[in-house]
Amino acid sequence: MCGFVVFTNQINDANQVIENMMEAIRHRGPDAGGKYVDADIALGHRRLSIIDVSEQGNQPLYSEDGNLVLVFNGEIYNYQQIREELKNLGYHFRTQTDSEVLIYGYQEYGTDLLPKLRGMFAFVIWDKKQKTLFGARDFFGIKPLYYAQMGDTLLFGSEIKAFLQHPAFIKELNTDALEEYLTFQYSAMDETFFRHVYKLQPAHYFIYQDHKLEIKRYWDVAFQPDESPSLEDWVQKISEIFHDSVRAHKIADVEVGSFLSSGVDSSYVAAVADVDKTFTVGFGKDETYNEIGWAKGFSKAIGKKNYSKVIEPEEYWGELKHIQYQMDEPLADPAAIALFFVCQLASKQLKVVLSGEGADEIFGGYNVYSEPNATAYDKLPRGIKRGIGSVAEKLPAHRGVNFFVRKGKDLEERFIGNAYMFTPEERKHLLKIQTNAPDPQELTAHYYNRVPDYDDVTKMQYLDLHMWMAGDILLKADKMSMAHSLELRVPFLDKEVMAVAEQIPVRYRVTREEVTDEHTPYITKYAMRLAAKQDTPQETAKTAAKKKLGFPVPIRVWLKEEKYYTIVKKYFESETSQKFFHTEQLMKLLDDHKDGKADNSRKIWTVFMFLIWYAVYFESESIAFGI
């Protein structure tokens, strides 16, 4: 795993600037650094050595004739097969790295190389003769790739913080992104929180030549349910392809470990991977927020050693600035901080760890996926439901009333992903500034419009695969692991696993046909859970049906304590807060939560994380001494 920076060169001190940019992302690759600079381009790379740990694997890498220059972040799991194909075509390799297949693969296949790859990646290749820059991001967006146009300078890189070191970079807050963030809890737009800085979307590539940037999609998920195989057949297919994916994801010249929570995803990974070490974090002694006891028992059952850590509240709050700095953009997912600590724990033992991200999105694991057609009410005519919902919207908010409001709307109107913090009306009421942010439905429509014929469950999965997973789940996985120079691999997010998952009928993803518990009228990830059960020790088989906690964080409890209430209050009443928000409304959210009138914890946390991020990036607050 690595990090890189690239910029088109119109400056005299390009060598020093690229060094400064590389230093800003040293945490992504502390083992080695390298650069290439000419009159047109500057490329810098920081390396975390995983495959071919010798100096031969250092980057930039060059083609045999010296014309192509590569900087690469990620892993290509099928590189050995591609390497053999290219060798048979006459190409000569000087390293044992997976990186080198990108150079000759691009030379041979051009953009057709991308569908051949199996892995996680972001890379850029400079063609000296053609003066062309080519780059791509992996299928799911596991690895980040940002770009920015600043005057005549184009920048690319693994992290935005590196861009701040370039003299042409103008740091300006994108307030449109702020308004959208208040709804989604993550940066949901292509343009980031920094004006004129964009994310290259997953499964896209770019070509830059003659001052023109062209961006195209090269792959997409295509759910096509196959009703012919039996449930048993699907379980076997899942088992076979997942075992194959885990084998591929374990390729390394260094030790590999595994994260472990109490849910089926990480348990399945740990059991199949047969690694020696698992890692778990939790809070306090209450099992509501602590999975350590369970994880130790599971690890013992599969014959592995579990390393664990109880995170104290002071530690958690003390790292918030550092974490928001590492994120580049604000993220309000409290689990990101727990992930920071489990990465910190694992990094003391090894360089590579496996994790269970992606299983919920591809196999249908979120509880919200059970909502479509869950009740007899769903069978009523659409017009009746919409009429009742319209009336219900005029009534005071209440759990029962909210049911009719929700059911009165089409999926495309009500579902924007796994988080929905502030409604468009609430965020407008809260913000003091005016923005040009689009309605959330304008962002989600881009994806819904591509799959109009999918059933509602599959539409939800498709949206989450493209927005929630890339914007929240994979963002925190990459940034929190790389903050500790740790490579995090996700064997569920493999294109071959996806090829199987997208054929599974929806009734084997979210089922009500196979009721195993009278208190559980549905089972999510049903076929995958059955596959996992085959590899789970009998004494821990309940994992397959267990609702995971996923490193839960007790912010709801903390925000009622005077110490942490006071910290948030300071931020909510600050001059910065007054610049963006109606602070009296923020304080009402905070006070109502503290007094037990409402659970506003997630809304409070969303605003609080933005204010911390802003203080670090725009007010130059130190990240070294906590809050």
Q: What is the pLDDT of residue 584?
A: 97
CA distances from 226 to 232, 233, 281, 388 (A): 14, 11, 40, 37
pLDDT value for 55: 58
Task: Tell how strand 61-62 and strand 41-47 pair up.
Answer: unpaired
Name the pLDDT band for 115 (thresholds 50, 70, 90). Answer: very high
**Domain range 2-217, CATH class:** alpha beta
Helix (H) or strand (E) holding 314: helix 313-318
Question: What whole-number percentage of the chain has pLDDT above 90?
Answer: 78
- Per DSSP, the residues of 450-470 read T-TTS-HHHHHHHHHHHTHII
Read off the pLDDT band of 519 (50, 70, 90).
low
Q: What is the mean pLDDT of residues 341-358?
A: 96
Instruction: Give the residue with greater pLDDT, 195 vs 553.
Output: 195
First to last CA, the chain: 30
pLDDT for 373 equals 78
Once rounded to an integer, what is the mean pLDDT over residues 546-559?
71
- Quote the CA–CA distance of 122 and 141 in Å, as a whole number: 9
Average of per-residue pLDDT across 295-312: 92
Arithmetic mean of pLDDT, 476-500: 97
pLDDT at residue 424 in the model = 95
Quick one: pLDDT at residue 188? 97
Eight-state DSSP code of residue 94: S
CATH number of the 231-365+467-545 domain = 3.40.50.620
Q: Residue 306 pairs with which residues in a beta bridge?
A: 278
User: Greatest CA span in the chain, whole angstroms?
Assistant: 73
pLDDT of residue 217: 98
Residue with the bigger pLDDT between 554 and 138: it is 138
pLDDT of residue 7: 97
What is the predicted pLDDT for the residue at 477?
A: 97
Least reliable range by pLDDT among 31-35, 219-223, 434-438: 31-35
Q: Which residue spans within 428-583 are E strands per DSSP?
A: 487-489
Q: Using an 8 Å Cβ cutoff, are 42 and 165 in contact?
A: no
Label residues 430-457 b or e (16+ Cβ within 10 Å = b).
bbeeeeebeebeebbeebbeebeebbbb
The sign of the dihedral angle between the CA atoms of 533, 536, 542, 547 is negative
Please give the pLDDT value at position 379.
79
Q: What is the pLDDT of residues 118-161, one digit of tens each?
A: 999 999 999 999 999 999 999 999 999 999 999 999 999 999 99
Residue 514 is predicted with a pLDDT of 58
* Whether 319 contacts 325, CB under 8 Å: no
Q: Radius of gyration over alpha carbons of the chain, in Å?
A: 24
If you write DSSP's letter for every residue of 382-447 in order, what string do you get?
HHHHHHHHHHHTTSPP-HHHHHHHHHTS-HHHH-SSS---S-HHHHHHHBSS---PPPHHHHHHHH
How far apart (Å, rounded) are the C-alpha atoms in residues 140 and 496? 12
Q: Do the domains at 2-217 and 231-365+467-545 have one common CATH topology?
A: no
Q: Give how far the C-alpha of residue 564 lies from the chain's centroid of Cα atoms, to the nearest Å.
A: 28
> Which range, of 322-326, 554-558, 620-624, averages the lowest pLDDT?
620-624
Q: Please compute the mean of the pLDDT values over residues 358-384 and round it to a whole number.
A: 87
Does residue 540 surpass a pLDDT of 90? no
d(CA 389, CA 409): 7
Using alpha carbons only, give the angle 354, 360, 366 rounded to the nearest 5 degrees.
140
CA 623 to chain centre: 23
Higher pLDDT, 368 or 376: 368
Boundaries of every domain in the chain: 2-217, 231-365+467-545, 555-618
Angstrom distances, CA of residue 550 to CA of 292, 333, 356, 487, 546: 11, 12, 10, 19, 11
Instruction: Write down the pLDDT at residue 1.
Output: 59
Tell which residue, 332, 226, 382, 355, has the closest CA to residue 281: 355
Q: Which two tokens stand for residue 554?
A: 């007790």
pLDDT value at residue 407:
82
Q: pLDDT higher for 522 or 582?
A: 582
Strand 277-282 and strand 256-259: pairing? parallel
Confidence of residue 620 (pLDDT cuts 50, 70, 90): confident
**What's residue 406's pLDDT?**
79
Q: State the CB neighbour count (10 A cutoff) for residue 285.
A: 11
Rounded average pLDDT over 341-361: 96
* Rounded Cα gap, residues 380 and 5, in angstroms: 55
2 is catalytic: yes
Q: What is the mean pLDDT of residues 520-545?
A: 77
What pLDDT score does 627 carry? Answer: 67
Beta-bridge partners for 258: 278, 354
pLDDT in tens, 245-282: 999 999 888 899 999 987 899 999 999 999 999 999 98
CA distances from 79 to 98, 142, 242, 495 (A): 5, 18, 19, 15
Per-residue model confidence as pLDDT tens digits over 51-64: 555 556 688 999 99
Partners of residue 119 on adjacent β-strands: 76
- Residue from 1, 2, 25, 61 carrying the catalytic annotation: 2
Work out the average pLDDT over 417-421. Answer: 93
pLDDT score, position 623: 67
Q: How far apart are CA 192 and CA 234, in angstroms?
A: 40
Band of residue 542 on the pLDDT scale cut at 50, 70, 90: low
> Tokens standing for 117?
């790859």
Between residues 358 and 396, the one the model is more confident about: 358
pLDDT at 394: 75
Question: Which pLDDT does position 383 carry in this prediction?
Answer: 82
- Please report how many Cα atoms fall inside a 13 Å half-sphere around the Cα of residue 91, on the Cβ side: 23
What is residue 4's predicted lDDT score, i.e. its pLDDT? 96
Cβ contacts of 269 within 8 Å, gap of 6 or more: 246, 258, 259, 354, 355, 356, 491, 492
- Between CA 305 and CA 276 the distance in angstroms is 6
Q: Could you give the CA distance from residue 258 to residue 481 in angstroms, rounded to a whole number? A: 13
Tokens coding 153: 């300078």
What is the pTM (predicted TM-score) of this model?
A: 0.93
Helix (H, G, I), strand (E, B) or coil at 362: helix
Q: How far is CA 199 from CA 145, 215, 246, 525, 546, in A?
A: 6, 11, 28, 30, 36
Lowest mean pLDDT among 174-188, 392-406, 557-571: 392-406
